[in-house]
Structure formats: structure tokens, C-alpha cells
Amino acid sequence: MTVRLISIVFLLLPGLVSADSLEPLKTALAKRAERQTVSVNVKQTKKIPALTQDIVTRGHLWLVPGQSFRWQLGDPLVQGAVYDGTKVHLTDESGKTTAFDPDDRRVKPLLLMLGIGESASFDNIQQAFSAGGTNVVDEHFVVSLVPKGRLQRVIQSMVMQINTRTAFPERIEWTQKDGTVIVTEFSPPVFDKKLPADIFDAARASYPWK
């Protein structure tokens, strides 16, 4: 689905990475903010310590960078999330929807991944994470990040691979405190395509994406 994670050595110790080595991340965030819309297929793999087999789910992401998104996994729906600019609305496979404030630690990792909110700016990412290592191979930039503060209660580490040509993630891997590893892979995105008017309607549990 995407270029696999580039092999790099991560020291995972704070303060070892210079600001210059994070310049590709800063540039990618700035370029992404210039896009009007993003539409992209996703594949999520969950590796849960108590289970012998990985849980693999495919879905789609519709995004207005910095403003709103619809994140949908499974057909029929397994998990959905809609941010309408005010609240993050999470929907489970039973159809139950719960609203959260963007600063809630249960939804903040998703907002960070998608570049939503002030906390997802380059300066705030530097405040929220320590960089443990970086690597660049051709048009692929990889950075490992270790959380600080309250995020440490949920996340142990994050590894992000960004395509520097499209300025969009190719692969993001979260390791949670309970040992669960969540890998999200992104297909090549479609940019600046007009989205349906109701795509960010939280009352709509799912949206056709195949």
C-alpha cells in the first residue's frame, strides 16, 4: 500500500536531534496547510499483546488541513471520527457516537497525526515530543518522537514517515503504554478535490469511500 518504513537507528534519547534535522517535518507541515482538501485511502494494523493475530482494517480519510476531517475504518463501519471544527465525534461499530473536546487525551493523538489544532503546529510538536532520531532516503523522511507531559500517559513513542514530495504521511506507528502498536499506512493522496457538502456532518455515521 505504501513504501515500508525505512530502516533507521533510533537512539530514543531526548535532545540528541538538532533543529535542522527536523526541517523536513517543518516544511511538510507548512506545505500540507496550503492544501484545500485531502482524500486518501488508509490501512490500519493493530498489534495487541493479548492477541496472536494482528487486526487489519481498511478505510478512508477526508481532510481539510487544519480545519476538519472524517476518518472512517471498515465497511461496514468499525470506527469513525469526525471533527467539525468544534468537537471530535467518535463512532463505534454499534453506531454509538460520543463527542470529545479537541484537547482530550483520548483524541489528541489522532488530531496530532492529521495536523489539526494548535497542538499540531511544528513549534507545539517540539514542545510535546522529544525527537529520538531522523533519517532521509530520497523523498522519504522518517522521525521518531517520544512524548512529554500528559501524552506519556497514553503514548510510549511515535515513528512517522513523510513523503517530502507530497508533504503527506506515508506511515505512522504509535506504541501505546499498554504495549499495543497501531500502524497507519496512507496510499498516495488526492489533493484539492471538491468534497461533498455533508462530508463533515457528525450525524452521518459513515460515508461511501470504495
CATH number of the domain that residue 126 is part of? 2.50.20.10
Say how many domains are in the chain: 1
Is residue 65 in some structural domain? yes
pLDDT for 35 beyond 90: yes
> Taking a C-beta distance cutoff of 8 angstroms, is the pair 101, 111 a contact?
no
Is residue 152 in some structural domain? yes
What value does the mean pLDDT take over residues 168-190? 93
pLDDT for 56 beyond 60: yes
C-alpha grid cell, residue 185: 499506512
Which of the two residues, 112 and 167, has the higher pLDDT score?
Answer: 167
Is residue 12 in some structural domain? no
Is residue 61 in some structural domain? yes
What is the tally of helices (H) and strands (E) in the chain?
3, 12
How many whole angstroms separate alpha carbon 116 and alpha carbon 40? 16
The mean pLDDT of the chain is 86
Domain that holds residue 42: 20-187
Read off the pLDDT of residues 80-100 as tens digits, 9 standing for 90 and up.
Answer: 999 998 999 999 888 889 999
- For the whole model, what pTM was predicted? 0.87
Is residue 1 in some structural domain? no
C-alpha grid cell, residue 44: 490500519
